[in-house]
Amino acid sequence: MRPMLTATLLAALIAAVAPSAAIGVGSAVSSEELVENPADWDGVTVTFEGEAIGEAMVRGENAWIHINDDAYTAASVEAGARLSGFNAGMPVLLPAEAAARIEQFGSHKTQGDYVKVVGVFRAASPEQGGEMLIEGDSLEVLRRGAAVTDPVMAWKLWLGAGLAGGCVIVGLLLQRLRHSI
Amino acid sequence: MLLRPTWDDHKVVGMYAGRIVLGVGLLMAIPLVTSLVFGEWDTAADFCIGLLASLFTGLCLQVVFWTRKRLARRHGLVTVAIAWLLGTLVGTIPLALSGHYGSYADAVFDVMSGLTTTGLYLIQDLDHIANGLSMWRFVLTFAGGQGIVVIALTFLFRGSGAVYQLYSGEGKEEQLLPNVIHTARAIWVISLGWLIAGASLLSVTGLTLGMRPDRAVLHGIWMFMGAFSTGGFAPQSYNVIWFHSSVYEALCVVIFVAGSLNFALHWAVWHGWRGELVRNIETRSFASTLAVLSVAAAWALADTGIYGDWVVLFRKGFYQLVSAHTTTGFATIYSRAFVTQWGAGAMLITMAAMAIGASSCSTAGGIKGLRVGLITKSFFGEVRRVISPESSRVTVRYHHIRDQILREPVVRSVLTIAVIFITLYAVVTAAGVFAGYPVDQAAFEGISAASNSGLSCGLLSPSSPDLLKVVYVAAMWLGRLEFIAVLALAGWVWAAVKGR
């Protein structure tokens, strides 16, 4: 019984000492939480989820990617999302081969892949010039991105045509004024 | 006696403002072409509407206020203030149509921020915007840095004389050449020379950093425009963090320091007078305050212990500080990191750097190094006067393009502007506090807006109170035009109502 009790107490102690590590790995942490409380999360292994944005910048064996976990991860404004504030996210430095799993990066014409990264959060990494980042160990694509269409609205064409007509008329009037005595 | 402006006076102001609005509209051709190249058809339609609406407004103003009377001294400043307001309103159209703004007022905020080279923004979902829309943000900030009047003078005006009032109304007083229109063109020659060199270097660096070729080139052009105009807009929400490169950061520093220097200094160096860089009171003032503030910031940051070694501390601390001092607003840290990592001491030093600002007759804002230098010279001159024998005559000299004697009216003028700036900083800080924000953050964001810096500590967001946004827009406008043109407009309106 005694070793059993010791093991139980030890497990309870570990759980009490490292709660943030347990929270980080179990459920995805938000960039807002990391930015607001960087000291609390520094060095903790976290799970981070969001939309891959822009591109992967491969530097040797590693690559930089940017994961946004804001309100536009499912659909951008172009794809019909409601305006919900600024973008928010976190840079991730991870092995280039892991970054290569991302096929679509978010842009005006694309909704990026929704990915899950597990890695260590650094509040100010000395190796990376003091940057706040996640040193990713693994990456999993949870949902593939897709192309976004943003068709021209007909009323804009009509408005443009009306304004062009207006410009011609006012421009002719101005010419007449210039040439009048 | 207060003289009421005549209808003829209004006509002159309206017609010339119309011509400048026309100039702002023509600039939209650049993002329009960008959208067409990248097949962003809806964005292209937005720019067609914006361009045509600007042309229509500019032409209408010229027809309604048609006159053959020439611009006189009393019209210049009022014309500039009105042109900036109208230019902002028409420049907003494509942004407002993009669907990325909560309201037209939010889009107005961004255009004013761009034109005044501030860099604070309210655009939402920035990371998904079209290339054309992004191009417009940077064209606004680049054009605003040189001055929209400078653009109009370059392409749409002839003659000289009273148009100097238009030029000086934008906070520029130095004439590089005897003719003001030639001066405006010289400013463009300098800026375009830097654009070609700077954008090329940044694009090549972007490629070596692993960026896609098209993105490397676009980011190179945009980051140059943001840096040289000391604007601070960046194409991604991560700002300069996006690049993760000390080389890219260093290039940006060179470009925004260059942009923050007086165009007259550029002109002097361009013509081989390199000694001017060392002798000029502005560069000396800037170097002195930067050195003092850098040491102070290093001390404050070392005290927090967030950056383990001195190299890292220098890279982060110096970058943010130079960005603040040149009123650029580029950042290699998260906005909220000023609060959650840097703390009150380092924030205060950054605020001081933003408040002072960089050179006059440059793209930068703030009180300006020239004024700080002259006030310091005047102060030490007074000290010398006090300790010298009564019979002695103390003359204070300074070098700014040429050797000059510091005279009483100049001191009075620079002190007046400095006091107005400090008052404005106090007012915007108070506005933030009344809106419910902590005083340090309210001061940081307010000074950033009024000095046209653009660094943010995360206070401003699309959900901020509308009244605070209006205060910031007014502060950006006042700070960029250095009050005189805006006060002239207020005086014009007052005279129109109360004058005889």
ipTM: 0.90
- For residues B455 and A151, which has the higher predicted lDDT (pLDDT)? B455
Counting one residue from chain A and one from chain B, the pairs whose CB atoms sit within 8 A come to 172
On whether the CB atoms of residues B260 and B454 are closer than 8 A, the answer is no
- A48 pLDDT more than 70: yes
Sign of the Cα torsion A69, A71, A73, A76 reads negative
Phi, psi of A84, rounded to the nearest 5 degrees: -140, 35
Q: What is the pLDDT of residue B162?
A: 58
Tell me how many degrees the CA angle B144-B447-B354 measures, rounded to the nearest 5: 75
Dist. CA B414–CA B419, nearest whole Å: 9
Dist. CA A104–CA A55, nearest whole Å: 9
**What is the nearest CA distance from B107 to chain A, expressed in angstroms?**
13
How crowded is residue B179: how many other Cβ atoms within 10 Å of its Cβ?
A: 16
DSSP string, B257-307: HHHTS-HHHHHHHHTT-THHHHH-HHHHHHHHHHHHHHHHHHHHHHHHT-S
Dist. CA B374–CA B415, nearest whole Å: 9
Question: Using CB atoms, which residue from A36, A131, A163 is nearest to B244?
Answer: A131
On whether the CB atoms of residues B259 and B359 are closer than 8 A, the answer is no
DSSP string, B85-121: HHHHHHHTHHHHHTT--SSHHHHHHHHHHHHTT----
Q: Do A124 and B42 touch (CB under 8 A)?
A: no
DSSP string, B157-216: ----TTHHHHHHHTT----SSSSHHHHHHHHHHHHHHHHHHHHHHHHHHHHHTT--HHHH
Bridge-based pairing of strands A146-147 and A89-95 is unpaired
Q: What is the pLDDT of residue A24?
A: 45
Give the closest residue to B350 by CA, choosing from B482, B423, B451, B249. B451
Select the residue from B63, B68, B127 to test the A interface by mutation, using most A Cβ atoms within 10 A.
B127
- For residues A57 and B20, which has the higher predicted lDDT (pLDDT)? A57
User: Which H or E run contains A95?
Assistant: strand A89-95
Chain B positions touching A171 (Cβ under 8 A) are 55, 59
Can you list the pairs that B483-489 forms with residues at least 24 positions away whose Cβ atoms lie under 8 Å?
Answer: B483/B417, B483/B420, B483/B424, B484/B77, B484/B169, B484/B171, B485/B77, B485/B78, B485/B80, B485/B81, B485/B84, B485/B169, B485/B170, B486/B81, B488/B77, B488/B78, B488/B81, B488/B169, B489/B77, B489/B78, B489/B81, B489/B82
On whether the CB atoms of residues A68 and A54 are closer than 8 A, the answer is no
On whether the CB atoms of residues A53 and B215 are closer than 8 A, the answer is no
Domain boundaries, chain A: 20-150, 152-181
pTM over 0.95: no
Dist. CA A8–CA A30, nearest whole Å: 32
Q: Tally the C-alpha atoms within 13 A of residue B291's C-alpha that lie toward its C-beta.
A: 6
Question: Using CB atoms, which residue from B52, B210, B333 is nearest to A164?
Answer: B52
Question: Using CB atoms, which residue from B49, B63, B341 is nearest to A38?
Answer: B341
Q: What is the pLDDT of residue A22?
A: 40
What amino acid occupies position B304?
T
Dist. CA B192–CA B205, nearest whole Å: 20
Question: Using CB atoms, which residue from A63, A66, A170 is nearest to B56?
Answer: A170
Chain A positions touching B124 (Cβ under 8 A) are 77, 83-86
Backbone conformation region of residue A54, classed left if phi is above 0, alpha if psi is from -120 to 50, else beta: left
At which residue do the structure tokens 């030029």 appear? B167
Dist. CA B338–CA B443, nearest whole Å: 13
Alpha helices by DSSP H, listed for B305-438, are 310-325, 337, 343-356, 369-387, 408-434
Banded model confidence at residue A1, pLDDT cuts 50, 70, 90: very low
Of all residues in chain A, the one with the smallest CA distance to B305 is: A124
Of all residues in chain B, the one with the smallest CA distance to A72 is: B125
Select the residue from B19, B128, B304 to test the A interface by mutation, using most A Cβ atoms within 10 A.
B128
Beta bridge partners of B400: B402
Q: What is the pLDDT of residue B320?
A: 97
Dist. CA B204–CA A81, nearest whole Å: 35
Cα dihedral B356, B361, B362, B363, rounded to 10, equals: 90
Dist. CA B182–CA B169, nearest whole Å: 17
Of all residues in chain A, the one with the smallest CA distance to B133 is: A108
- A8 pLDDT more than 60: no
What amino acid occupies position B176?
L
SS3 for A87?
A: coil
On whether the CB atoms of residues B413 and B406 are closer than 8 A, the answer is no
**What is the nearest CA distance from B53 to chain A, expressed in angstroms?**
6
Q: What is the pLDDT of residue B76?
A: 82
At which residue do the structure tokens 């990456």 appear? A139
Select the residue from A32, A59, A68, A108 to test the B interface by mutation, using most B Cβ atoms within 10 A.
A108
Decide which of 2.40.50.140, 3.90.1150.10, 3.30.1180.20, 1.20.1300.10 is the CATH code for A20-150.
2.40.50.140
Chain B positions touching A68 (Cβ under 8 A) are 127, 237
- A18 pLDDT more than 70: no
Burial of A104 (0-12, 13-18, 19+ CB in 10 A): middle
pLDDT tens track of chain B, all 500 residues? 678 899 999 999 999 899 889 988 999 999 999 999 999 999 999 999 999 999 999 999 999 999 988 887 778 888 888 888 999 999 999 999 999 999 999 999 999 999 999 999 999 999 999 999 999 999 999 988 877 677 666 666 665 555 666 666 665 666 667 677 777 788 888 888 999 999 999 999 999 999 999 999 999 999 999 999 999 899 999 999 999 999 999 999 999 999 998 888 888 888 888 888 899 999 999 999 999 999 999 999 999 999 988 999 999 999 999 999 999 999 999 999 999 999 999 999 999 999 999 888 777 789 999 999 999 999 999 999 999 998 888 899 999 888 999 999 999 999 999 999 999 999 999 999 999 999 999 999 999 999 999 999 999 999 999 999 999 999 999 998 888 888 888 999 999 888 87
Q: Do A87 and B126 touch (CB under 8 A)?
A: yes
Q: What is the pLDDT of residue A3?
A: 47
- Give the pLDDT confidence of A86-105 residue by residue, as tens digits: 999 999 999 999 999 999 99
Give Cα B210 to chain centroid, integer Å: 31
**What is the nearest CA distance from A54 to chain B, expressed in angstroms?**
8
Phi, psi of B236, rounded to the nearest 5 degrees: -120, 155
Q: What is the pLDDT of residue A11?
A: 47
Dist. CA B411–CA B372, nearest whole Å: 11
Of all residues in chain B, the one with the smallest CA distance to A93 is: B244
Q: Do B124 and A77 touch (CB under 8 A)?
A: yes
Q: Do B244 and A57 touch (CB under 8 A)?
A: yes
Of all residues in chain A, the one with the smallest CA distance to B313 is: A130
Dist. CA A7–CA B470, nearest whole Å: 63
Q: Do B52 and A163 touch (CB under 8 A)?
A: yes
Calculate the average pLDDT of chain A. Answer: 89
Bridge-based pairing of strands A62-68 and A89-95 is antiparallel
Question: Using CB atoms, which residue from B128, B215, B309 is nearest to A106?
Answer: B128
- Give the pLDDT confidence of A127-150 residue by residue, as tens digits: 999 999 999 999 999 999 999 988
Question: Using CB atoms, which residue from A55, A76, A157 is nearest to B125?
Answer: A76
Q: What is the pLDDT of residue B377?
A: 94
Q: Which two tokens stand for residue A21?
A: 């590590």
Dist. CA B492–CA B490, nearest whole Å: 5
Q: Do A86 and B461 touch (CB under 8 A)?
A: yes
Give the closest residue to B261 by CA, choosing from B277, B240, B272. B277
DSSP string, A105-171: -BSSSEEPPEEEEEEEEEEEETTTTTEEEEEEEEEEEEE--EE---PPPHHHHHHHHHHHHHHHHHH
Q: Do A173 and B56 touch (CB under 8 A)?
A: no
Q: Do A124 and B312 touch (CB under 8 A)?
A: yes
Q: Do B215 and A126 touch (CB under 8 A)?
A: no
Domain boundaries, chain B: 7-259
Q: Do A85 and B463 touch (CB under 8 A)?
A: yes
Question: Using CB atoms, which residue from B52, B102, B341 is nearest to A167?
Answer: B52
- Render the burial of B116-153: b for 16+ CB within 10 Å, e for the rest: bbbbbbbbbbbbbbbbbbbbbbbbbbbbbbbbbbbbbb
Question: Using CB atoms, which residue from A38, A153, A170 is nearest to B63?
Answer: A170
Phi, psi of A177, rounded to the nearest 5 degrees: -65, -40
On whether the CB atoms of residues B366 and B421 are closer than 8 A, the answer is yes
Of all residues in chain A, the one with the smallest CA distance to B53 is: A163
Chain A positions touching B99 (Cβ under 8 A) are 77-78, 83
Q: Do A164 and B340 touch (CB under 8 A)?
A: no
**What is the nearest CA distance from B334 to chain A, expressed in angstroms?**
8
Alpha helices by DSSP H, listed for B28-65, are 29-37, 41-64
Q: Do B42 and A153 touch (CB under 8 A)?
A: yes
Q: Do A55 and B306 touch (CB under 8 A)?
A: no
